[in-house]
Structure 1
């Protein structure tokens, strides 16, 4: 099977579901995720014929080890086999024995040890801020909610945003209601996959205490589940009374850009689903094409991240397709 066909199958799986796509093309889910992993690592060229090199079982990549440990934090009752299944779902082709080896090296083969490990991993939101002057691209994400308005045909519209403080890479989705679960949705369904594709490692997740989401029932502390998706993240609450000029300006400027794009479409009468899809295209162009100023030099947010981290950026699938959520 040639690389172009493999790429088309990958795209189809992202649009219509992996299980249905694999059944249609008579391939296994394991093979599909193997292709997906090769695409994420090497781009379309990685889907062609490659020479297989032997990799010792004790050479599990650091990012896979980190993912395994964070899956254990979320699912401490699961053993190597169950963790292997989770890894397959997110595109890692790794054996059950390799998962066990990681557990063994970290003294987590016993269920009681894993439960203790998971309980120790919980962190509480705090008001100590990250050092904004020293953080690197991809390390600190600002989170906020914007009320776009109440509309007869569309109902209430809220824009949820996760925004990298340094690179200005943004992830935004629209919802009809206020809920911290929507932040978890955008984080795990969009922001973290994007960060993994760009080799970014988030260390700080910052909410604003004047955000409308904070007026809802439910504690921000429940949001510490973010630690279980591949990163060890500190959750912060930014107080309105503190001097956070740069963070507030970034929030204000980006929100203005989004509203300037959305409002004409809303008043034009587009459906809510169409509005969400159009916003995806807008945010993608913002991240990849839109030139912003960084100390007098102009780059797109993705270009700036690549330059500042010396990363070889291979655009992931979100750069090519629209996805319902």
Structure 2
């Protein structure tokens, strides 16, 4: 028996004791009501229910109103729970998605109340934000193309047998607009990095002034001089400080949570098919996905 059921049982026994007190002790409904501090209307209601339904009739009933004109539609609740469980979105991001894709207006606090009611108000420990004191100060460039952050994410499709294939997702994100360019390659070297940066420059609708990378071997001297030859400055972050490349690192976490995790271990060992899937995800990220950093805009 759960704690709530035990509490219902305890309260029902108390009501039965009140009814028996009137019959066996005081002999007066008014005296019993004064003794227990209840109204006679309440006493007679308990007695009527006890006569009609027995002990079960004394258990507390739901206090939910019969008519709730402002109650959230069950379909909206289903969408909220699906976004929470599937993507681990918070109340603000869920409200953004409902407004953008379903034309449903609901406040973040309203989303939180629904999540709290079903016990989904707290994320798994790995998905929670750090305390405010330990977060790094946010910054962003004010002009498109002022700086690109570039990084590489290692990918190995799950469920492979035999000789396993691996890919390297090259990612470039504009510091101002958050526009990203993605490309998957079977190698990770300077030649590949140069191919990727040429692809990025051909895709972006604005001029790039500076590229920021970590200290990986793929961003070595050949890559560095290739950028300088194109009139683009190349800077590297301090060793062991990935937070300085925070936007591209955070976007890789979004890739893991909203793209790779949903593949559910699907084996994609064809480079062309993988590139198509990645391109679809890039388009969704750039043109459809609401961004919290941009106030829900794309």
Instruction: State the structure with bigger RCO (CA 8 A, min sep 6), 1 or 2.
Output: 1
TM-score for the superposition, normalised by structure 1 = 0.42
